[in-house]
């Protein structure tokens, strides 16, 4: 080891590390904490290279050193963020949930925020007026209304004048009534597609000329249900899957314009997307009224009426802290090399990895255990009871 330290390999590693470290320290700018962190990262390749050289020889040590240098550079480059400056961002669905929290968060960081709300006179909009800076502008924006989308574009363009819009965050979305896909009325499928997919596409297409001016970012709020199949989310998951595919295609097509596109696939967070008890009653009534008699008979009244209990207990399984989602969106907006897909939330990547890497039967088994329910349709309970009697 001592001989290696004084060898040409050792001096080469030290020389490259010095250059590497100076570059990283320049990336850290004025923050002492960042400088100390970057210094540690710059020393890591040399230490691993020298240790590997002791066991693998000079050539092996040099190979390890180069690989670790490259890996470190890629990793740290992905963490580097652009300055906020006077960057302007449009957020849809800012009345409640993630959109509301994101509007406050970005405003506190110094962004010029355009917060699109479904109700400009509602409590969510009023809270943004009271708590945020003068940089934040509220926009009446129902993303399913083409006229309102166009009016929002004209207002943003007028305020920005000749400057481009740095980011669009398509956050507005609806959950619908979580139920078996066979039970959901077609209106639920259409509503989910209209808001979660067509609305996001409409906003994206309308504001892309402003994003092109700044070579900015398009961030689409998808869902874990948009990347993997989950029971009771046929309508919601299908609409989010469409949005995820749209994001992927746009990421490829818009790269030539310098626009970067990201899709956020969070796990369960407490956002209020499930709606209110009044809305649940309305959705339940619509579901029951549209069911054919034989389907109602097969599932049974107790199973159908028990679907609403899923909504009542949903917040218990969702995280209240939205900071992982906000951090992912901020990275997508400011990172020099943003990811194409983000999976914020504990374990959000696990079902996706199982779905992609394991046989489908194993994934289905995993999901059935993860989302197991005591509620079983009446026809299946009857057949099971008959089997036991035999």
The residues carrying an active-site annotation are 236
What are the φ/ψ torsions at residue 170 (nearest 5 degrees)?
-80, 90
Residue with tokens 């369960």: 268
The set of residues, in sequence order, having a beta carbon less than 8 Å from that of 232 and lying 6+ positions away, is: 178, 179, 180, 310, 371
Q: Where are the beta strands (DSSP E) in 283-325?
A: none
Element (H, E) at 239: helix 234-254
Using CA atoms, how far apart are residues 124 and 97, in angstroms rounded to an integer?
A: 10
Element (H, E) at 341: strand 341-342
Using CA atoms, how far apart are residues 240 and 236, in angstroms rounded to an integer?
A: 6
Q: Running DSSP on this structure, what letter comes out for residue 224?
A: G
Helix-, strand-, coil-residue percentages of the chain, each rounded to 5: 65, 10, 25
CA-nearest of 217, 212, 204 to 84 is: 217
CA-nearest of 235, 214, 217 to 226 is: 235
């Amino acid at each position: 080891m001592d001989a290696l330290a004084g060898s040409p390999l050792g001096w080469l590693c030290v020389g490259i590390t010095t250059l590497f470290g100076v570059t990283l320290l320049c990336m850290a700018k004025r923050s002492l904490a960042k400088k100390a962190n970057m210094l540690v990262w710059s020393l890591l390749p040399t230490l691993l290279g020298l240790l590997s050289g002791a066991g693998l020889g000079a050539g092996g040590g040099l190979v390890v050193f180069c690989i670790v240098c490259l890996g470190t550079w890629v990793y740290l480059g992905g963490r580097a963020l652009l300055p906020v400056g006077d960057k302007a961002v449009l957020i849809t669905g800012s009345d409640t949930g993630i959109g509301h929290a994101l509007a406050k968060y970005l405003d506190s960081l110094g962004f010029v925020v355009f917060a699109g709300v479904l109700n400009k006179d509602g409590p969510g909009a009023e809270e943004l007026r009271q708590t945020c800076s003068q940089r934040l502008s509220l926009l009446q924006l129902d993303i399913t209304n083409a006229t309102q989308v166009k009016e929002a574009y004209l207002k943003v363009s007028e305020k920005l004048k000749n400057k481009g819009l740095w980011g669009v965050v398509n956050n507005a979305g609806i959950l619908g009534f979580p139920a078996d896909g066979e039970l959901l009325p077609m209106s639920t499928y259409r509503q989910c597609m209209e808001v979660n997919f067509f609305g996001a596409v409409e906003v994206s297409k309308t504001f892309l000329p402003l994003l092109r001016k700044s070579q900015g970012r398009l961030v689409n709020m998808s869902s874990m249900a948009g990347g993997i199949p989950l029971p009771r989310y046929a309508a919601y998951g299908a609409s989010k899957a469409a949005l995820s595919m749209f994001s992927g295609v746009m990421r490829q097509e818009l790269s030539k314009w310098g626009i970067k596109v990201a899709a956020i696939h969070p796990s369960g967070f407490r956002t209020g997307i499930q709606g209110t008890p009044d809305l649940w009653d309305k959705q339940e009534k619509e579901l029951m009224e549209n069911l054919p008699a034989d389907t109602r008979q097969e599932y049974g009244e107790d199973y159908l009426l028990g679907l609403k209990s899923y909504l009542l207990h949903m917040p218990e399984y969702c995280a209240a802290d939205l900071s992982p989602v906000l951090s992912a969106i901020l990275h997508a907006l400011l990172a020099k090399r943003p990811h194409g897909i983000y999976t914020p939330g504990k374990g959000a990547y696990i079902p996706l990895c199982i779905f992609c890497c394991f046989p489908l039967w194993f994934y289905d088994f995993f999901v059935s255990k993860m989302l197991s329910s005591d509620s079983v349709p009446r026809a299946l309970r009857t057949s099971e009871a008959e089997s036991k009697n035999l």
